[in-house]
Structure 1
């Protein structure tokens, strides 16, 4: 980390908003005008809409992440966490991956921590659940699902087999519906290579507390998505929730009980809880309370955007919707980041701030290969698509929204190869503990106990 007398713009979080805001600031900034410092516990940004396809093996895991140091060569990138912020002194406490924490002064602050999985105190969830917020979890889910097929094919115990081939997904929003659609596709393709496992042996269950799935695309397309998944053998239970999943024994509120080795949790997100330690004004759900300009309420040097911010939806409010807030999705995050970057430059130069205003352009969702739903908003007209055409819209939109041309090209290359080559169905479970085999080979052999010499006749006589 370099020391500088220039003003420091501290960006907390290197996700979608943090990356794009930092790029925008660096692009608009004059040479030597300020130092941009980005702090994140990971050295890369993850494009989360592609995690279901990563779990299914349609996209290489390396291609859905963007290395921060490569994309932000003119910024300081610190791998660590901002644990506290002293607003009076304008100092942040940085906890690096290794070593002691230290203080870092700043002049301007951008809060872009994003969100974490919203969980509940359900018995067994912490031990059994698999999230879908990071590329590591997507890789882990893929390996785990394929390993379950290996187990089922190799055992003669019917109970073990049934538990291995039951897959439970909690949450029917975009993340849940897309993930179960992609994973069901993966398992269906993989089953062709097993002699004793078929798709009919598997059980896929989707659970949601709401009375519908895919609420983001509207009730009609949501109903189509539900009917489509059910036609592929997915059991969907709405208006219910999971009471417990201790040791993989899943108990639903509607009375259903199943045993499963695979419990995927995609029941929404919540703002990063560390925000409570920053001393910022928070909304009722823990989001940073911002003005339409993305400035944190009551400050003129702190901005926030994305999933951790409560941003007024100016366009919806002009249309007569009271207390409308921008939903947490990539569509808003990308546009908020650009406005935020411009406003940071304006604030640094003493110019007025610009309000963030964006009308919803719709939503797209993929439900597996060649399957999807899409709602495109053009003015007052809503175009609803389903099937293969919606799937093309899903891939086209997110493919172009992927940061950097390097990653766009790699993602489209993965898709192109997938058109001609069969899906990879190999499980690399050893990735989760790669040193285990070497450790077994290298660990010292146990020391053998020395044999006890037999006593001579004289020693026996002396002892007596």
Structure 2
């Protein structure tokens, strides 16, 4: 029997963990695994706030694909732009060169999600997301750069604008990013005698009446109280209406200038899915059975198509009521990937796939160094125990022993050494110093034509 080709679209939580599982379980000559992603690494997103705050090196929050998938996998650096599953062919745009067609027997559709933005004036021009390691590094450098601006300027309005930081979205991403960045900035102020903590203004804007909807209301209320004790401005039942020119206008009537606007208000399925012939629901997610097999509107399995993670609609069999879907969390994505890989191999070997079932363990969140909130198996923790559980859980979840060791080393050094609070903003425009000192020269052939 000829080897089956398994195409993995995207190397996020689902794609990487599924490929890892397949690389360990596949027999010689049984299947060929091809992983396509434009990035050479997988970003472990729960570590983005800590990477942004300088608690761990940004390099240690990512997993190198070619190192992790060196067994029985082939990596293609590019982007899947279209999937024609009727013919079982995907169109891949490599980093350089023309498009190419890749045929397959099974496809794992896991491009993940992108930031769910709204048509808010000025948002595109002045805000930054918080989903990639690049955005995390940029935010760290930008916040520290704003402290330098505020410490240098003699204009009170410029200082106030530089020291105003707005985060939109009260889910885990927004709360952890806000808390970690405020903690880092407060730590950095020891080197800025011109500034005081009271000069900074940190604002959280959330459209509903609570934050952290993944945990019980009392835990969300506790988090709000702790953030307010640190002087943070928490705006619930409030929407961002405009940020043109950096002028933030909120639905409660307040308006002020801010140099920093961070958008963390949810995600939506990757737009690449619009260029596939796979069935989707009303929220544009790929519809799946509990076995992670793609299913059409009539309930018929689409042979050879699999999906999971936050771009898919997977029934949650462990929920208390029918019709509930798995939440778009890393906890589900990692376990779905493992079940999916096992099911693909089962189908290839002539067996029946098994259903994915996982009761949500709970949630953990960091609120800065030594501060956190957790709700695990019904047990609620706050402060240092919750913070320690947050670190322990995510350290155990990140793939690769190499990365786990490096993260632990980062944390251990942080116990004895002070946090690095230097801005490396020039990283975002590395050619600017060189172009400033290099005069433009017109090509000789252009002069000859004239």
TM-score (norm 2): 0.95
- Is residue 159 of structure 1 aligned with residue 162 of structure 2? no
Tell me if structure 2 keeps the 8 A contact 1:143–1:427: yes
- Is residue 442 of structure 1 aligned with residue 438 of structure 2? yes
- 1:67 corresponding residue in structure 2: 64
- Is residue 395 of structure 1 aligned with residue 398 of structure 2? no
Tell me if structure 2 keeps the 8 A contact 1:300–1:347: no
- Supply the distance in 1 between the matched residues of 2:134 and 2:348 (Cα, whole angstroms): 38
- Supply the distance in 2 between the matched residues of 1:36 and 1:144 (Cα, whole angstroms): 40
- 1:450 corresponding residue in structure 2: none
Pick aligned residue for 1:187 from 175, 178, 185: 185
1:87-166 correspondence runs (5 A) = 87-166=85-164
- 1:452 corresponding residue in structure 2: none
Q: Secondary structure at the match of 1:384?
A: strand
Deviations along 1:104-163, whole A, 9 cap, x unmatched?
Answer: 111110011111111001010011111110000000000000000000111111111110
- Is residue 221 of structure 1 aligned with residue 224 of structure 2? no
Q: Secondary structure at the match of 2:394?
A: helix
Q: Secondary structure at the match of 1:357?
A: coil
- 2:446 corresponding residue in structure 1: none
In structure 2, the gaps of 5 or more residues are 296-300, 443-450
- 1:324 corresponding residue in structure 2: 324
- Is residue 259 of structure 1 aligned with residue 257 of structure 2? yes
- Is residue 55 of structure 1 aligned with residue 52 of structure 2? yes
Pick aligned residue for 2:314 from 311, 315, 321: 311
Tell me if structure 2 keeps the 8 A contact 1:217–1:364: no
Q: Secondary structure at the match of 1:283?
A: coil
Root mean square deviation of aligned Cα: 1.4
Deviates more, 1:245-254 or 1:277-286: 277-286
Q: Structure 1 residue 445: deviation in Å?
A: 7.3
- 2:445 corresponding residue in structure 1: none
- 1:347 corresponding residue in structure 2: 347
- 2:237 corresponding residue in structure 1: 239
- Supply the distance in 2 between the matched residues of 1:103 and 1:292 (Cα, whole angstroms): 30
Pick aligned residue for 2:35 from 28, 35, 38: 38
- Supply the distance in 2 between the matched residues of 1:193 and 1:58 (Cα, whole angstroms): 18
- 1:302 corresponding residue in structure 2: 305
Tell me if structure 2 keeps the 8 A contact 1:301–1:347: no
- Supply the distance in 2 between the matched residues of 1:347 and 1:214 (Cα, whole angstroms): 39
Shift >4 Å, 4+ stretches: none
Q: Secondary structure at the match of 2:327?
A: coil
Deviations along 1:254-304, whole A, 9 cap, x unmatched?
Answer: 101010000000001111111121111111211110001000003121110
- Supply the distance in 1 between the matched residues of 2:44 and 2:351 (Cα, whole angstroms): 33
- 1:384 corresponding residue in structure 2: 380
- Supply the distance in 2 between the matched residues of 1:88 and 1:387 (Cα, whole angstroms): 53
Q: Secondary structure at the match of 1:217?
A: coil
- Supply the distance in 1 between the matched residues of 2:353 and 2:155 (Cα, whole angstroms): 66
- Supply the distance in 2 between the matched residues of 1:349 and 1:209 (Cα, whole angstroms): 49
Tell me if structure 1 keeps the 8 A contact 2:286–2:311: yes
Q: Structure 1 residue 77: deviation in Å?
A: 0.6
Tell me if structure 1 keeps the 8 A contact 2:8–2:109: yes
Q: Structure 1 residue 442: deviation in Å?
A: 2.6
- 1:170 corresponding residue in structure 2: 168
Q: Structure 1 residue 218: deviation in Å?
A: 1.2
- Supply the distance in 1 between the matched residues of 2:216 and 2:337 (Cα, whole angstroms): 27
Tell me if structure 1 keeps the 8 A contact 2:86–2:277: no
Pick aligned residue for 1:29 from 22, 26, 30: 26
Question: Which structure: larger Rg?
Answer: 1
- 1:248 corresponding residue in structure 2: 246
Q: Structure 1 residue 6: deviation in Å?
A: 3.2
Give the length in aligned residue pairs. Answer: 437
Tell me if structure 1 keeps the 8 A contact 2:128–2:262: yes
1:415-454 correspondence runs (5 A) = 415-444=411-440
Deviations along 1:322-342, whole A, 9 cap, x unmatched?
Answer: 311110111111110100000
TM-score (norm 1): 0.92
In structure 1, the gaps of 5 or more residues are 447-464
